[in-house]
Amino acid sequence: MVRLIMGLKGSGKTKQLIELVNAAAKAEAGNVVCIEAGTIMTYDIHYHIRLIDAVEYKINNYDVFRGFISGLYAGNYDISHVFIDNLCKITGGEVGRETEQFLNWLDQFGEKNNIKFTCTISADPSQATDGMLKYL
């Protein structure tokens, strides 16, 4: 399952994500992971959440990100939810077909491995492709 939160910069996406992450820390039976570009949320999320700074791992495209997420799961089969803040900033891309393909891959990977994904994208929701609309 993939949930997508889109909005322009300053629209409250990260605040909403922090609330969802902290709620998941209490409710999820498995491990919860949060991936962000930088260390903005360090003091805002529950200490049980595995916070990952994508900049440290030089995740600069969707192929690298697929491998990174696959590796996370290979190292910990107990992951139940992955939160990704500012997906396009992490990968260095724009909203488009490649983003849609990545979200579709996340959906398939999540279904197969029983993982939920919640992603934010800093862009006007009208920029979402037709394939991305099902995740909004």
CB 116 within 8 A of CB 82: yes
**pLDDT per position as a tens digit, 53-98:** 999 999 999 999 999 999 999 999 999 999 999 999 999 989 999 9
Domains of the chain: residue spans and CATH: 2-135 (3.40.50.300)
For residue 65, the model assigns a pLDDT of 97
**84 closest CA partner among 46, 33, 132, 128:** 33
Q: What percent of the chain has pLDDT over 70?
A: 100
pTM: 0.96
